[in-house]
């Protein structure tokens, strides 16, 4: 039987970079593969499964709520949509055909990267309009605050090696700016290990990827 590389004419890659989306992320643990196989051979009401897994994860992490998403990009889009939709049943079903005045998502300019898809595209899919703060090589708390207007809906912070690291404010500083302006802070920390530290720093919504159970 031909290997997957032979069957689809794929180039085999040795991953020395760690968790890289472009390389298929990472190798799951055996128990994760086993759980996935068990799930694929059963039937559920998907809405019930999403709700119950979210409740389970939220309890484990001691957070208000959690939702399983397909990837970090989807998580950003859904987080932005949640900020804009809030409790509106109408917007929930008509987000992209309804003008929303306060839809600006402020992001440090050095965090506006492409890690398989542009961050701006993810924000737009969620109904938001990206606004860059600071410069490509610098963004302080003051510069982040200066980009906030009455139309700002949230602040977005990307914690990633793809982003500029030098002269950038940290998550705690971004959280303080968000608190001062009564805005939610969304943190993309998909490649980070600690599942609770950014929530404790003040993130209202944060995205993390796990390959373990």
CATH class of domain segment(s) 70-207: alpha beta
Spell out the per-residue pLDDT of the chain, length 213, in tens.
Answer: 788 898 999 998 888 877 777 777 777 889 989 988 998 999 999 999 999 999 999 998 888 888 888 888 899 999 999 999 999 999 999 999 999 999 999 999 999 988 878 999 999 999 999 999 999 999 999 999 999 999 999 999 998 777 788 889 999 999 999 999 999 999 988 776 677 777 777 677 666 655 443
- Helix (H) or strand (E) holding 170, with range, is none
pLDDT of residue 212: 43
- Helix (H) or strand (E) holding 153, with range, is strand 152-158
Please tell me whether residue 213 adopts helix, strand or coil conformation.
Answer: coil
Q: What are the CA-CA distances from residue 37 to residues 41, 50, 121 (Å)?
A: 6, 17, 32
Torsion sign (Cα): 131, 105, 81, 111: positive
């Amino acid at each position: 039987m031909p290997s997957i590389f032979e069957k689809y004419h794929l180039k085999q890659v040795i991953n020395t970079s760690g968790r890289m989306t472009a390389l298929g992320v990472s190798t799951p643990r055996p128990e994760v593969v086993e759980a996935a196989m068990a799930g694929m051979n059963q039937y559920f009401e998907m809405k019930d499964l999403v709700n119950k897994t979210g409740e389970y994860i939220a309890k484990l992490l001691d957070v208000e709520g959690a939702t399983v998403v397909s990837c970090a990009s989807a998580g950003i889009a859904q987080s932005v949509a949640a900020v804009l939709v809030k409790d509106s049943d109408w917007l929930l079903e008509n987000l992209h055909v309804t003008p929303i005045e306060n839809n600006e998502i402020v992001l440090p300019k050095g965090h506006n990267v492409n890690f398989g898809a542009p961050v701006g595209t993810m924000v737009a899919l969620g109904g938001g309009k990206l606004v860059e703060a600071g410069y490509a090589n610098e963004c302080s708390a003051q510069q982040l605050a200066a980009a906030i207007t009455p139309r700002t809906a949230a602040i977005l912070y990307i914690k990633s090696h793809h982003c500029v690291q030098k002269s950038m404010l940290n998550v705690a500083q971004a959280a303080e700016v968000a608190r001062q302006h009564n805005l939610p802070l969304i943190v993309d920390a998909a490649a980070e290990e600690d599942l609770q530290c950014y929530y404790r720093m003040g993130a209202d919504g944060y995205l993390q990827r796990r390959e373990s159970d």
